[in-house]
Structure 1
């Protein structure tokens, strides 16, 4: 089951809803188990070192490797991995507010944008140099530069990434992301950074907002506030990135099919990206009620876990292990580059 996320090859021409039930039920069971295990982590150690979506991929991949589900499960698994992921990405728009970008100030915004773009380009080139497939190299680059698992999950359907590539990218990025959370306070102390500088460093390098809080926490409240703000602006770059990749992908297809070249930009963009942008615009204008935005955020997270379960069920761990060493090298090198660029940003701002 190495079909691409956007490929309909696993689905019959006329698909009855009941044919989705076995695969969706299995994906749902894996997702539920992942959520329970995440709760157990929180109960035992106070925080989820492995998020539910990472656990869902690992559990699904273990099931797939030990005993591959029969063909009856394929349509539902494909639906979970593709359709549910696209719905999750669309609903992410409800969490985006473009006004937060303006509040950060132009110099800081410009520094964050330059750091993210530079990290994506450098990471992608390193990935290609060591022989990673183009799509996997792009997933790793976007994951490291923006927001880890969420960025990988959002970019995957846009570039038609393979299940194996998505699972491998998320798995290794998540593990090294934990290392960054643990190491960052020690790095900040070693470099004699102020709480403000340490917070900005955390916001520029750590993947998820909760992880930023965990990394900046030992540096004080100022570090947490600065890190959260920087991280928020960094996450907001996911929208322009996904939109840009979607347009590039569509234009590439249009160039291969000249008859489609006259389509407008809106016709070239996938519906779930249009939905993402529409929700983000409505939320930014303050027109999205809190009673809608909050449930949309929760539902987006749950659908992402379900999608990751579906992805995992399409991945054989033996194929992932073959790409492992190269991915680890690229993720590590990418994090080093991101850290160096972040420190350069702090020096330009006179904070280091």
Structure 2
């Protein structure tokens, strides 16, 4: 990173850290809410009122993306294969069923709400896998334009924010003593990594670990989802040249680096006995990176953009979210993980 790039991110990064420190301090007075919840709520309020300056954007974007990715990697120091094994066969089946139902239902609802096929596919991938990252991977494969991509990213973020604030309460109501089920509900449904971390943190730090395992399973399947949409795009392509271009672009989307990093650290932690200080330091850094990232997510959440999209977008998003939530609850109640 060059000196110029560092200078660009410092204002927004400093603001995100400041909001995180304030949130952690307020959490001492309001322990029920917790630092994560306060950080994102403070961010939303401040980002839509006082801190809307363009100079902050580079730093808050860095905080939202990079710090959260580092937090995921560090989480590997607290997870072993024995932890992953607790998900069981039903945990893997749950992720597969959820992703399948979300993709099929979102494509159908997209048609019902008169959205074109490209927007429906981006919406399906964003909700089934990992929000904006999945949309960014799918958009070039299906040749979606920037305006369509921006609209769907906005809608997915809005839906994710709503679900992030509601699913924790559903999780504690339906599964009051089942940490694994709470993690499955949040990690198997919420759109972005940040929303999963934030939603799980609203319940208890122990839920974050399991929620992230379910989330990482979904992210690993991003390559499969992009391949499926590649085939769908090829089926409607008008020339072999277009198909070749789609195929060429699709190959550029590997598994995100932080998922690979998490898995490497997890393998290391499973086979090598590391000093206890490693886990303590990793947990400390991960918590602060997480809180700072959540503050940045709140600061970057532009409520005006959501209002501009109109009721059709909101009804589409709420319908997709409703299907996700009901499917997850039904599965977890009938077939406990």
Identify the residue that residue 220 of structure 2 maps to in structure 1.
243
Secondary structure at 2:93 match in 1: helix
Q: Distance in 1 between matches of 2:14 and 2:211?
A: 35
Which of 72, 75, 78 matches 1:89?
72
Q: How many residues align?
A: 286
Identify the residue that residue 161 of structure 2 maps to in structure 1.
171
Q: Distance in 2 between matches of 1:133 and 1:62?
A: 31
1:184-333 to 2 correspondences below 5 Å: 184=174, 204-205=184-185, 235-245=212-222, 256=246, 258=248, 268-321=254-307, 322=309, 324-333=314-323
1:268/1:340 Cα in 2 relative to 1: closer, same or farther (>3 Å)? closer
Q: Distance in 2 between matches of 1:243 and 1:320?
A: 29
Q: How far off its partner does 1:34 sit? A: 2.8
In 2, are the aligned partners of 1:247 and 1:269 still within 8 Å (CA)? no
TM-score for the superposition, normalised by structure 1: 0.64
Q: Is the aligned partner of 1:74 residue 2:19?
A: no
Q: Distance in 1 between matches of 2:179 and 2:90?
A: 15
CA RMSD of aligned residues (A): 4.2
Once the two structures are superposed, what CA deviation does each residue of 1:29-75 show, in whole Å capped at 9, x if it has no partner? 22223333444332xxxx33xx5444433332333322453232232
Secondary structure at 1:180 match in 2: helix
Q: Distance in 2 between matches of 1:326 and 1:52?
A: 32
Gaps of at least 5 residues in structure 2 are 111-118, 138-149, 188-198, 231-243
Secondary structure at 1:313 match in 2: helix
Identify the residue that residue 15 of structure 2 maps to in structure 1.
26
Q: Is the aligned partner of 1:339 residue 2:325?
A: no
Once the two structures are superposed, what CA deviation does each residue of 1:141-162 show, in whole Å capped at 9, x if it has no partner? 45xxxxxxxxx6xx65565497
1:130/1:319 Cα in 2 relative to 1: closer, same or farther (>3 Å)? farther
Q: How far off its partner does 1:175 sit? A: 2.3
In 2, are the aligned partners of 1:173 and 1:331 still within 8 Å (CA)? yes
Q: How far off its partner does 1:242 sit? A: 2.5
Identify the residue that residue 91 of structure 2 maps to in structure 1.
112
